[in-house]
Amino acid sequence: AQKVTQAQTEISVVEKEDVTLDCVYETRDTTYYLFWYKQPPSGELVFLIRRNSFDEQNEISGRYSWNFQKSTSSFNFTITASQVVDSAVYFCALSETDNFNKFYFGSGTKLNVKP
Amino acid sequence: DSGVTQTPKHLITATGQRVTLRCSPRSGDLSVYWYQQSLDQGLQFLIQYYNGEERAKGNILERFSAQQFPDLHSELNLSSLELGDSALYFCASSVDGGRLDYGYTFGSGTRLTVV
């Protein structure tokens, strides 16, 4: 079974629109970490955020915000006032107690932001 | 610059051939992780080495092998290459073998094309 599900394969928005990328995870551990990475067309993986399972506070960083809800096993990512430079593939990932540096990635959501 | 160096950046080779991908971890890191990003399988964990020894194994094919040398650099060897092995191969490194390293980052990847 998939540990991390990103149901949205591709999303297209017009610049300045808000967009939310969904991530649902599955784990039996009580201690785990969740991550979001951005992969621009150049291919590298850019770290955006990590969250541990005990911290359900939502986080905001500039135009980015994250909503972690343990009750629904979701860790959604919202970009406010999207820009063309936000166009990329975004990955959600999970790591578990046995090895916190071993990541299970979702299949990614490709975000297209049009001018 | 993440501090994790992967060479070469691009590699084109023919089916049936063997290639070696190289990863130099961040200074001070003892653990190296290999991931494969392919179109059909997404981003998958392959294998982890910690201080020269295999620590964890993921979905790594038998045709693939890896090792970590005394100077802590790692090599991923891919043999009897098939078209489906075409992918982006990422390396990451961490200080510890399992406890989350908050500086954990990925290298920029090696893009392998099998023709």
pLDDT tens per residue across span B16-31:
999 999 999 999 899 9
A99: confidence class by pLDDT, cuts 50, 70, 90: confident
Token pair of B66 as six digits: 């890896």
What are the backbone dihedrals phi and psi of residue A3, each rounded to the nearest 5 degrees, phi first? -85, -30
User: Which range scores top for mean pLDDT: A100-104, B65-69, B90-94?
Assistant: B65-69
Question: Residues B77, B18: contact at Cβ < 8 Å?
Answer: yes
Average pLDDT of chain B is 92
Which residues of chain B lie closer than 8 angstroms to A31, CB-CB?
Answer: none
pLDDT tens per residue across span B39-74:
888 899 999 999 999 999 998 999 999 999 999 999
pLDDT tens per residue across span A20-69:
999 999 999 999 999 999 999 989 999 899 999 998 888 888 999 999 99
Distance separating alpha carbons of residues A103 and A35, to the nearest angstrom: 9
Which residues of chain B lie closer than 8 angstroms to A49, CB-CB?
Answer: none
Q: Is the dihedral of CA A83, A85, A89, A92 positive or negative?
A: negative
- Contacting residues for A70 by C-beta, under 8 A, at least 6 apart: A53, A56
Which residues of chain A lie closer than 8 angstroms to B89, CB-CB?
Answer: none
Mutation choice for B interface testing from A9, A45, A55 by most B CBs within 10 A: A45
Cross-chain residue pair A101–B90, CB shorter than 8 Å: no
Mutation choice for A interface testing from B100, B101, B105, B113 by most A CBs within 10 A: B100
Q: What chain B residue is nearest to A49 in terms of C-alpha separation?
A: B102
DSSP one-letter code for A15? T
